[in-house]
Structure 1
């Protein structure tokens, strides 16, 4: 009940047996439970019952940082874990994180530092950030800022997890294929379903469904029929056929082959379309197969990844004793539920001009590192195609193009190449693009950028990166120089927060800054033909964010104020700079007044 548990009710309750009191206590909100525990010794003892606090922990928070080992704790008797202390710890994290979050929105200074402080709690703040993102009411004074920054912090949490997985892989530590590939998903996930834990659970659920389907199909013919009794070959084929029948692998739309969504395991598992590239289909197949006792790996086969399945030690694929070398079979779950003959694959290799001496390599199991790099190259291709279809690429519901590109850059930077010598060159090539993307789209990732200098140990770039980190932290701490509307700005007609449409090109956006006259360099002015504009360079120019999430510099004569309300895409982007949309003013309410105090 609001305001705490009423002591007047306690005498009547305390006449009940302990079992009923525990049942009642388990349904009390945590604050009332604490209040009830203060009424007497018996109530105090009951409210310390570990099973009650275990239930509160499970019902209050869905996500937990790995350090808690929640799955392990759930398997133990309740009394072996101090669930009350654990609840108190999580509640304290929520309170502190929310306090930092609220203070962060009040000023630009130190904003990224505060975001990093919250994100440092990793999955222990995911529930809180999801609630801020999804449950902040439309009527809130700073609704857009709250939703945007909660989502941005979720992104930080996810990206830190992804980078950690790739760092482990780069250092030679074992990382499961679905985790190494799922790390890409964490960049485009934001707050939606499909992080590594959910991917793991879904793969386990699918494996269980395959077992149950087999049991149900055979219960009349053989009451003891179990999936585990099948041979490896039978299991391998049955797994592929189930995945195809459930529409969890493959892509019926050949024209949509390189669609960006097809590169991500979580979308193949959870999106309604379930489409994927062959590599992701094989990764899903292999992960499910592992859970069903089948050793399967992606192959090195060029252009189209297949799954290579090997027999158990001392057995053939058909379950007979086989002390001879391991047997292999091949599956292409993206295309078919049938086994692919090895001689068919060898024939394709010959047609590609692959020398026979290299066939064993291409038919063999691929390293996880190579599959991650191959996915990165596929994402690069998909993003380049998506950028040709810019409007479709940024439609709600699809993976964010810039986040996907960022994921590719991070994987290439960390993993480089399977060849150590080529890895250094690859890192040098992508570093500039990654830093550019960091500045433009993910400036809150200072903590991740801090991880990069050691990758260039002994090179001049190591110090340059450290200087960049120091500069970014100083800029965050000190804030940008204020631009008041003084006499020099009298000619600036539009304001920060104005929603506009480009007079010539038709895209919509919002204004996030201005200059009284064009401040770009001579080369840019020449390239953009600024002097050919009717008013030339001697007019106000505006820093804007367009509806494709690009940052542009637009002359005042090309700005026009539309009558319509901003699109939902633009509303989602606006929270980085603004509190909310003011329908009466027909403008966004600024949240960057440190920089533009009069707008």
Structure 2
């Protein structure tokens, strides 16, 4: 005798919800839909699907709440899964085919946060055990490469959201305003952080500070006679100090981590003035605290302007120097500070007035470029440079400066096809022409390279192969080969600089495109390549040190001592993956 319907529903309510579907109860619900009439009727109950939806989909801002299906969680779930399948189909094609990849990436990125969750799940696919995975789940084909491209699209989506937000700052005809806190928080989007990440961290910090102020008996009601704004601001500075926020050491001033909120809110709390001001203003403007704080475009060091109630003077806060004297008087302290900096205080309002988001973003962009010039370790990443360039493109029309920056930026084809293309309509004519030319050139070159195939021939002997690991004979760094040409195709200027003519065979020998453990991509003569075997330890080191590695290789073949090529390289170098004569152990033995 079958059980009553409500009992089946009660049983299905206890199915576990997991973000990855095959681990959770959604597969059971789907199987029930295909079973007998009673189980199907039970699985059709919309409320059963809500918990599974909320666990899987953390980004649901694009769900149409006004549609007739808005209250039916099963239909909402089914629609999101339909979009997931479209996204996965495009991702499969991006992984397997370089030709047309940019067009597919642009289509996928345009889905925006509707496909964020499914791509985020792809980024956590189990990887082979050699890369440190302790998962017992089956490893999907080309899992490493799928993770790489899924992450690349997520990064493009996140950057695109920052471009859209900052674009309203550049559009003088729009009434939409972006706060300093929100605009600055979007800097982290260039590192692939979702736009909700930094506001969430700041809100949590504001909640903690509110509790701190209450504990220290600060009155937060402006209508009460004991309301004391300078005291509240001083307490906020003390709270930040207790949370380990403070001025960075001079030796670390140009660390790129000082410029991006997801880093200086977590691992790099000792930071530069403008970043500490971002934190202070966010805390001060927390709804439960309500201090009218804004950044100030002050020379040498960003300060905070605080608007006082009628009858009291406004004042500034020096968050960076908070441990000595955080509260600065507009009448007494600021003129003295300006004179000390060699700035005549004739136009005092210029240096003490509240400042909007756009000037602060430009100041941040200049700081990022300064870090790039001064950081001896060159730790600045392409992500940081993209942020600085996009800000200058949007908020200035300095074509000479922008042209100089673009000439030094190694434009990525995916970036060009996605968020940089979205940037074009927002720009003024001069900058738009520069970016349009750079984008067109990048995409044309990508199309040419995507169509190239490098078969091995009897006429030209290529001693080594894509996927081989080697040690440089002169400089002793470790690298792996990601491409080759029968002769040196570099410019004469490059050959002269690199003394190619002094090599035994000069330029008339195979040259190899390589990526080394230090992250650099180089062009190396065959004379300088000393083959070594890829061990499990070395494979793990490459995986940990080189985020770009999975673009080229899908796995480590420790038995043959080499990398397994990604679909992209398998097509470009069809004879390099399966030729048994390239067994590294025999090559090392003969050399």
Fold-level match, TM-score > 0.5? yes
Residues in 1 aligned to 2:71 and 2:441: alpha-carbon distance in whole angstroms: 43
Instruction: Answer whether contact 1:264 1:276 (CA < 8 A) is retained.
Output: no
Q: Provide TM-score, normalisation by structure 2.
A: 0.82
User: Structure 1 length as normaliser, TM-score?
Assistant: 0.81
Rounded Cα–Cα distance in structure 2 between residues aligned with 1:61 and 1:184: 24
Sort the Cα spacing of 1:277 and 1:51 in 2 relative to 1 into closer, same or farther, 3 A.
farther
- Aligned pair partner of 2:115 in 111, 118, 125: 125
Deviations 1:445-464 (A, max 9, x none): 31333345546766697398
Partner residue in 1 for 2:214:
215
Partner of 2:377: 389
Aligned residues: CA RMSD:
3.2
> 1:487-566 alignment to 2 at 5 Å?
487-490=458-461, 492-563=462-533, 565-566=538-539
- Residues 145 and 578 of structure 1 are in contact (CA less than 8 Å); yes or no, is this contact kept in structure 2? yes
Q: Larger deviation: 298-307 or 539-548?
A: 539-548
Distance 1:206 1:509, change over 3 A: same
- Please give the alpha-carbon distance, in whole angstroms, between the structure 1 residues aligned to 2:8 and 2:157: 46
How far apart, CA to CA, are the structure 2 residues paired with 1:522 and 1:293?
Answer: 63
Residue in 2 aligned with 1:465?
A: 436
**Do structure 1's residue 286 and structure 2's residue 281 form an aligned pair?**
yes
2:319 aligned residue:
333
* Shift in Å, 1:483: 1.4
Counterpart contact for 1:195–1:266, Cα < 8 Å: no
Matched residue SS, 2:285: helix
CA offset digits 1:401-457 (Å, max 9, x no partner): 1221222122212222xxxxx5344433333334xx214xx5453133334554676
**Cα deviation per residue 1:127-171 (whole Å; 9 max; x = unaligned)?**
222322223221534232122212212211112112222222211
CA–CA distance in structure 2, aligned partners of residues 581 and 159 of structure 1: 32
Q: Do residues 308 (structure 1) and 315 (structure 2) align? A: no
Aligned residue in 1 for 2:585: none
In structure 1, C-alpha distance between the alignment counterparts of 2:233 and 2:445, rounded to whole Å: 56
Cα distance, 1:517 vs structure 2: 1.5
1:215 is displaced (CA, Å) by 3.4
Q: Determine helix, strand or coil for the equivalent of 1:450.
A: helix
Q: Secondary structure at the match of 2:471?
A: strand
Counterpart-to-counterpart distance in 2, 1:226 and 1:520:
67
State how far apart, in whole Å, the 2-side matches of 1:145 and 1:79 are. Answer: 37
Alpha-carbon distance in 2 for matches of 1:449, 1:555: 35
Distance in 1, Cα, partners of 2:221 & 2:565 = 61
2:74 alignment partner in structure 1: 84
Spell out, residue by residue over 1:275-314, the C-alpha distance to the aligned partner (whole angstroms, 9 max, x if none): 2211011011111211121111111111111111112xxx
Displacement of 1:255 in angstroms is: 2.0
- Name stretches of at least 5 consecutive residues in structure 2 with no aligned partner: 18-23, 130-138, 577-591
Counterpart position of 1:3: none
Which residue is 1:169 aligned to? Answer: 169
In structure 2, the CA distance between the partners of 1:506 and 1:123, relative to structure 1 (3 Å rule), is farther
CA–CA distance in structure 1, aligned partners of residues 388 and 438 of structure 2: 24
Aligned to 1:98: 88
Task: Tell me what 1:275 maps to.
Answer: 270
- Classify 1:503/1:163 alpha carbon distance in 2 versus 1 (closer, same or farther; 3 Å): farther
CA gap of 1:471–1:530, structure 2 versus 1, over 3 A, is closer
State which of 340, 349, 359 in structure 2 corresponds to 1:370: 359
- Pairing of 1:255-274 with structure 2 (within 5 A): 255-271=251-267, 273-274=268-269
Larger deviation, residues 137-146 vs 455-464: 455-464
Q: Distance in 2 between matches of 1:503 and 1:307?
A: 56
Whole-angstrom CA distance in 2 between matches of 1:121 and 1:461:
24
Give the direction of change, closer, same or farther, for the CA distance of 1:113–1:549 in structure 2 (3 Å limit).
farther
Looking at structure 2, the residues matched to 455 and 429 of structure 1 have their Cα atoms a distance apart, in angstroms, of 20
